[in-house]
Amino acid sequence: MKLLGTTTSPYVRKTRVVLAEKKIDCEFVIDNGGPDGLGLAEHTPLCRIPVLLLDDGSSLFDSRVIVEYFDNLAPNNRLIPPPGRERTLIRRWEALCDGTLDAAVAAVMESRRPAGERSQGWIDRQRKVIDFALAACARDLGDQPWCHGTAITLADIALGSMLGYLVFRYPAIDWRTPHPNLAKHYDKLMQRPSFADTAPAAA
């Protein structure tokens, strides 16, 4: 197997953390398909990373699909429960964190547009979404040691990947002060090799 992506994509990082937690051997290839992503069209019609190339020549894309494939590939350290309420709650965490990332990435991309073409209103809207989502994450985490249950799950991995992206791309956002429980949880996750070894350079 080969995982295509970059070291700065939070969606790719989520898949790499799952690989490490599951102790699955998979080659990681730095490839974003070029400036427009079209170089990935051979493997994914969406032209977005991450992409997983399987040994039979087929491919999987979208981080949510890839992490589920990895979790089913090895029975150890299950990160996603069987179908049922527990699974739904963990997938809800993942949706919340991925949605926060979508807003953060959209704001970053908009801020890179030429000044005359940039929409500050759009950026401000994404910032509000991020603030709402962080408050929801903090509320749902509460004082629990993990997002759900008694051990690390995909929920924690999704949360850590999202917070790490904010550290990397949005250092001006002070989420630690209003949400100390998120800060404590992120610091705990960063003690794990799976997170420490996949952190972007500035995270």
* Predicted pLDDT of residue 203: 46
Average pLDDT, the chain: 95
* φ/ψ bin of 149: left (φ > 0), alpha (ψ from -120 to 50), beta (otherwise): left
Tell me which CATH code domain 2-73 carries. 3.40.30.10
pLDDT at 111 over 70: yes
- 3 state DSSP class of 21: helix
pLDDT at 14 over 70: yes
Q: What is the mean pLDDT of residues 19-41?
A: 91
pLDDT at 38 over 90: no
* Predicted pLDDT of residue 202: 60
pLDDT bin (cut points 50, 70, 90) of residue 39 is confident
| Buried/exposed 105-114: b ≥16 CB within 10 Å, e otherwise | bebeebeeee
135/129 Cα distance (integer angstroms): 10
- Closest by CA to 198, choosing from 18, 51, 77, 2, is 18
| Buried/exposed 141-152: b ≥16 CB within 10 Å, e otherwise | beeeebbbeeeb
pLDDT at 87 over 50: yes
Spell out the domain ranges in the chain. Answer: 2-73, 85-196
- DSSP string over 107-156: HHHHHTS-GGG--HHHHHHHHHHHHHHHHHHHHHHTT-SSSSTTS--HHH
150/190 Cα distance (integer angstroms): 18
pTM as predicted: 0.95
Q: What is the mean pLDDT of residues 146-157?
A: 97
Instruction: Give 118's Cβ-side CA count (13 Å radius).
Output: 13
CATH class of 85-196: mainly alpha
- 3 state DSSP class of 198: coil
Q: What is the mean pLDDT of residues 138-166?
A: 98
Q: What is the mean pLDDT of residues 106-128?
A: 93
